Amino acid sequence: AGEELERRCQSFMAPPVTNMQELRDNPGDMKTHMELLILETQAEVCRALAAADGGATFTVDKWNRAEGGGGVSCVLQDSNVFEKAGVNVSVVHGYLPQESILQMKTRGKNLKTKDGKLPFCAMGVSSVIHPKNPHIPTIHFNYRYFEIEEADGNKQWWFGGGTDLTPTYLNEHDVVHFHQTLKDACDKHGPRYYPQFKKWCDDYFLIKHRGERRGVGGIFFDDLDSQPKEEIFNFVESCAKAVVPCYIPIVEKHKNDPYSPEDKLWQQLRRGRYVEFNLVYDRGTKFGLATPGSRIESILMSLPLTARWEYMHSPSPGSKEAEILNVLREPRDWVQ
Amino acid sequence: AGEELERRCQSFMAPPVTNMQELRDNPGDMKTHMELLILETQAEVCRALAAADGGATFTVDKWNRAEGGGGVSCVLQDSNVFEKAGVNVSVVHGYLPQESILQMKTRGKNLKTKDGKLPFCAMGVSSVIHPKNPHIPTIHFNYRYFEIEEADGNKQWWFGGGTDLTPTYLNEHDVVHFHQTLKDACDKHGPRYYPQFKKWCDDYFLIKHRGERRGVGGIFFDDLDSQPKEEIFNFVESCAKAVVPCYIPIVEKHKNDPYSPEDKLWQQLRRGRYVEFNLVYDRGTKFGLATPGSRIESILMSLPLTARWEYMHSPSPGSKEAEILNVLREPRDWVQ
């Protein structure tokens, strides 16, 4: 088992955050399983992106958090195909900030604190890929595991995650491929996951003040805790393994597509909306910005290299810009 | 008095939001005074900017809010000198959104609601000017007046506002001129305004997750209600009149300065920080985004035309980029 662990770690972008001895000593702990899964996912995605880019090399930063834990941030900036591609792993522990406790309470979590303190461990892989070509959509995915120890020693845990696509223009074939791949991964674990998490995704990525979704959706879930841990882990693992097959074929298909300055302009305006969602609404970004000692550069890696805001920009009816806007305003079902 | 009102309105960018008869009928009401002041300020600033630009014409949009009130938005986009210059007046009334009531309570306001409802009237002039040339700083100003009618008929009112500067590079002479002009305006009304509001400005415009201020400050105040209304109005008027003299000379001085692609790049990264502050922390933006029926395009007019986020960008020690960062991290006193 120790050898098997060594072998798996060989493929990672950097050594695990938790020290090897601790991982070896707790082979059955969900924290161990999850840390290995997120590091493996990071490595698989980075390798696939680097290959699609034509041999780019990710910058790898391994960092420590003074308050406990650390992470591995992998970034590709201004490469052949990508404007900015970030794949980040973090494994942090310590005490939950008050703001996050309150935020979790609004989600219905009843947490018994001790002197207002709540020890936690949070780990996840999180990624946003912004390509240069407006015909390749942006993808975001995040898979995470949370443990909290309450004042009475009771441990609460849950999984969260999702994968979603943000195209500049609508290509129905791409969107169907993307959703079908996610649905196939979900369906292995039961028929209700995909429809439920597809809807959750459409609801979550709403830019409320615009009445638009950030993109064409995918899947999103949070607070999964009502089945055995191992079962949920297996589901999360299937979703994580679906990232490369749902996205890389779309990158390959469009990476040499020609595009006009007008296409690029519309992409930049959509990037602006991406920034609006992430800074105003995104729960992960808010949690990160509120967590003391969090690594800001890794959290804000999700922001595009460049973005644009024009006053009163409005696409003409019937244009391909209006076409995607319609989908963002009224989400569709892409697969049955 | 009716003729005097007509005469003042001639100079505005658009007719007042409130109908003329109502303004004529209530010449002594603070709401009338304030609406005229904010429209006058808008016109003065737009004219000065258009002149500095070399004869540009502002786009003027007069809009109505279904829930009550409306506004006048003046925007100049991609002109000779300015990337984006927006000067917005809004006069809105209706019921305060629950989120805003809670937010005001955290600021210590004790508001007696009736069935959870609170009628309010809010008006102000708000502006952000983003120039093209990295040697001209961005300016923001906002002067506003608030009235709330509590369940028992009691009226609460207060003034808020401020003017602050965000340079890409430090030019001490400009910053001293800017602060001195604001200080002179404040000092006419008492010696304590400037030092108090200068500090409030440094505190308010903190981008907490970066440990940096948005700019080199200026003045900021909110919830001013502890002196007679007319006295505070006179103070606010002096501040509003100081906008043109504190800024336009800086625009004129630098509008033909040469700059390099590196200067422009650094400006774009600073624009990214501007977006971070406005979307994550700014109270006015949050209030606007949470207010039903608010005009999103006018609220987000404050965002730059273009912005940039680079992973792990860090200026080299001793560079002019590092010089301004130092000031943003540790605010200085500019005038005695």
| CB contact at 8 A, A307 and A275 | yes
Q: DSSP states of A240-285 as a string?
A: HHTHHHHHHHHHHHHTT----HHHHHHHHHHHHHHHHHHHHT-HHH
Is B210 in contact with A75 (Cβ distance < 8 A)?
A: no
Q: What is the pLDDT confidence band of residue B27, given thresholds at 50, 70 and 90?
A: very high
Distance, CA of B32 to CA of B9 (rounded, Å): 12
Q: What pLDDT shows up at residue A152?
A: 87
B307:A279 CB<8 A: no
The nearest CA of chain B is from the CA of A302 a distance in Å of 9
State whether B209 and A77 contact (CB < 8 Å): no
Query: What is the C-alpha separation between B269 and B291, in angstroms, rounded?
Result: 30
Question: From the list A86, A209, A310, which residue is nearest B311 (CB)?
Answer: A86
Asked if the Cβ–Cβ distance from B297 to A310 is below 8 Å, we say: no
What was the pLDDT predicted at B67? 86
For residue B275, the chain A residues in CB contact (below 8 A) are 275, 279, 307
The answer to whether A42 and A72 have CB atoms below 8 angstroms apart is: yes
Distance between CA atoms of residues B206 and B328, nearest Å: 9
Q: For tokens 């940039």, name the residue.
A: B308
Instruction: Indicate yes or no: CB of B311 within 8 angstroms of CB of A276.
Output: no
Contacts of B86 in chain A (CB under 8 A): 311
Q: Of B311, B312, B313, B314, which to mutate for an interface test with A (greatest number of A Cβ within 10 Å)?
A: B311
Decide if B135 is catalytic: no
pLDDT in tens, A277-306: 999 999 889 888 888 788 999 999 999 999
Share of chain B above pLDDT 90, in %: 84
Catalytic residue among B33, B140, B179, B254, which?
A: B140
Q: Say which of A33, A130, A140, A254 is annotated catalytic.
A: A140
Answer whether B297 sits within 8 Å of A280, measured CB to CB: no
pLDDT for B114 equals 76
A 10 A CB-CB count for B239 gives 26
Structure-token pair, residue A66: 């003074």
Confidence bin at B2 (pLDDT 50/70/90):
confident
**Residue among A210, A301, A310 minimizing CB distance to B296:** A210
CB pairs under 8 A between A and B: 77
Location of structure tokens 């043109």 = B244
Chain A: closest CA distance from residue B128 (Å) = 13
Q: What is the torsional sign of CA A216, B278, A221, A246? A: positive
Residues of B in contact with A276 (CB under 8 A): 279, 300
Enumerate the β-bridge partners of residue A307: B307
Phi, psi values for residue B16, rounded to 5°:
-55, 160
Per-residue pLDDT tens over the stretch A254-276: 999 999 999 999 999 999 999 99
- Nearest Cβ partner for A300 among B297, B308, B309: B309
At residue A160, does pLDDT exceed 80? yes
* Average pLDDT estimate for B74-101: 92
Q: Give the residue on B whose Cα is nearest the Cα of A210.
A: B296
User: B306 and A301: CB-CB below 8 Å?
Assistant: no
Nearest chain B CA: its distance from A78 CA (Å): 10
Alpha-carbon distance B61 to nearest alpha carbon in chain A (angstroms): 10
Note whether A77 contacts B311, CB cutoff 8 Å.
yes
- Determine whether the interchain pair B208/A312 forms a contact, defined as Cβ–Cβ distance below 8 Å: no
- Ranking B117-121, B249-253, B306-310 by mean pLDDT, the lowest is B117-121
Query: Cα–Cα distance between B182 and A168 in angstroms, integer?
Result: 45
3-state secondary structure string across chain B? CHHHHHHHHHCCCCCCCCCHHHHHHCCCCHHHHHHHHHHHHHHHHHHHHHHHHCCCCCEEEEEECCCCEEEEEEEEECCCCEEEEEEEEEEEEEECCHHHHHHHHHCCCCCCCECCECEEEEEEEEEEEEECCCCCCEEEEEEEEEEEECCCCCEEEEEEEEEEEECCCCCHHHHHHHHHHHHHHHHCCCCCHHHHHHHHHHHHCEECCCCEECCCEEEEEEEECCCCHHHHHHHHHHHHHCHHHHHHHHHHHHCCCCCCHHHHHHHHHHHHHHHHHHHHCCHHHHHHHHCCCCCHHHHHHHCCCEEECCCCCCCCCCCHHHHHHHHHHCCCCCCC
- pLDDT bin (cut points 50, 70, 90) of residue A74 is very high
pLDDT at A55: 82
Contact A75 B311 (CB under 8 A): yes
Residues A121 and A91: their CA atoms lie apart, in Å, by: 7
Sheet of B59-64, strand order: B59-64, B69-77, B82-95, B119-131, B138-149, B155-166, B217-224
Rounded to an integer, the average pLDDT of B22-44 is 97
Q: What angle do CA A216, A34, A191 make, to 5 degrees?
A: 45
Minimal C-alpha gap between A313 and chain B (Å)? 9
Pick A306's closest partner by Cβ from B77, B296, B308: B308
CA distance readout (Å), A112 to A109, A115, A148: 10, 10, 10
Q: Which residues of A touch B312 (CB under 8 A)?
A: 61, 75, 297
Q: Are A239 and A163 a contacting pair, CB within 8 Å?
A: yes
Which one of B75, B210, B276 has the shortest CB-CB distance to A311?
B75
What is the rounded distance in angstroms from the CA atom of residue B235 to the CA atom of residue B216? 22
Q: Which of A77, A209, A300 has its CB closest to that of B289?
A: A209
- Interchain contact, B306 vs A303, CB within 8 Å: no
Instruction: For residue B174, give the nearest of B225, B133, B211 by alpha carbon.
Output: B133
Predicted confidence (pLDDT) per residue in A180-233, tens digit = 999 999 999 999 999 999 999 999 999 999 999 999 999 999 999 999 999 999
Our CA angle for A243, A248, A254, nearest 5°, is 145
Minimum Cα–Cα distance from B292: chain A residue: A209
Are B210 and A296 inside 8 Å of each other by CB?
yes
On the CB side of A102, how many CA atoms lie within 13 Å of its CA? 5
Q: How far apart are CA B201 and CA B141, in angstroms?
A: 12
Provide ipTM, 2 decimals: 0.93
Residue A288 three-state SS: helix
Cross-chain CB nearest to A289 (options B61, B209, B303) = B209
Please state, in angstroms and rounded to a whole number, the distance separating the CA atoms of residues A290 and A151.
22
Q: Tokens representing B202?
A: 């440094």
A150 has a pLDDT exceeding 80? yes
User: Residue B30: is its pLDDT beyond 80?
Assistant: yes
**Of residues A103 and A188, which shows the higher confidence score?**
A188
